[in-house]
Amino acid sequence: MLRRSFGDGADVSLFTLGTMRALQSPEQMLQVLRAALEAGINHLETAPAYGPAEAFLGKALAQLSKEGVAPADGGWVITSKLLPGQSFLSGREALESSLSRLGINRLDNLAIHGLNLDSHLEWVLSGEGARLIDWALASGKVRQVGFSSHGSNALIERAIASDRFRFCCLHLHLLDPTRMPLAQQALERSMGVLAISPADKGGRLQAPSEQLKVDCSPFQPLQLAYRFLLAAGISTLTVGARSAADLKLARSLAASEGPLDLEEQRALTHLEQQRESRLGHELCGQCRACLPCPNDVPIPELLRLRNLAHGHDLMEFAGERYNLIGRAGHWWETVDASQCDSCGDCLPRCPHQLPIPDLLAETHRLLAAAPRRRLWG
């Protein structure tokens, strides 16, 4: 598998093994790790928040080391995470515990996990987090520091511009490309960029609707999504795997880093045209001119879910995301469409003159009754 630069650290494979799905047993983690190695993956992403993932991964790495098995040209590159807001002492203990569970002396990449609020960024830049990062780097416990974020675009832009981080982990998706400009800003600063869950959170593309399959033909939706991100220069894409079969597509795209070919471009154009045709004058173009809302309704995000539900029959996915609102703290939106009081403040700002209050009301009726499933941010 081809590799790309990742900040100031070791080069990483085009695909990264995310370890939050192989949690049944250490044996399952070992099987997945062997499959990742066979696929050419050298980058592993884990976190203390992923339950037993670090402990299982540490045991699997120890077994492979005993067998003398590791990726060529540098071995494994490991990224783990720390939650923001904790004290210097608790953060240091958490990092040392991660290293112990993983069975390593130094972490290649430490991500501040969930840099979602202004207070989180302040913690990193001038609070206890700044002290923690300085210690982690100076002590040699960590090679470089980055962040993951589910926060606002403005917050992510400030984090990138702070020059405090050497990589970032962002939600970057074929069906939600609004953060691609942020990724490009990071790449221009020679930061590494990891795409968080381009499959599941990108529309559950590993199990797409029949309509989306037709809209992406002749490509699989997930294949087209992967190529869209890789062609844009994104450093690496996460793949959460429960078994070797989950890595099959990543393995087939191991050397797929070139620009989009003509057939891929046509497929992307067709995808957009089908969405536009079905939604007509009610398509939200995600320009965000409607914000801010006096009631803090996240209008673009809610209408994006409506776009997906009507545009590609992703009703189940959109409903699950909608019903997560208010249930995941700062990891996801907290206000749903029912909080729109039809004040009309957004109407003159919409360049397409969408009837936004009416669309929000319809979105709530459409998605609020959808079944719930744990689908974190």
pLDDT along the chain (377 residues), means of 10: 97 97 96 97 96 97 97 96 97 98 98 96 97 98 97 96 98 96 98 96 95 98 98 97 96 93 98 98 96 97 97 95 92 95 97 97 92 48
Strands 236-240 and 192-195: parallel
The H or E element containing residue 4 is strand 3-4
How many other C-beta atoms are found inside a 10 Å radius of the C-beta of residue 260? 16
pLDDT tens for 38-81 read 999 999 999 999 999 999 999 999 999 999 999 999 999 999 99
Output Rg (C-alpha) for the chain, integer angstroms.
21
Tokens of 132: 């923690």
Helix (H) or strand (E) holding 211: helix 210-216
The reported pLDDT for the residue numbered 257 is 86
Q: What is the largest CA-CA distance in the chain?
A: 66
Half-sphere exposure of 129 (CA within 13 A, CB side): 24
Q: What confidence score (pLDDT) does residue 99 get? A: 98
Integer Cα distance of 268 and 226 in angstroms:
12
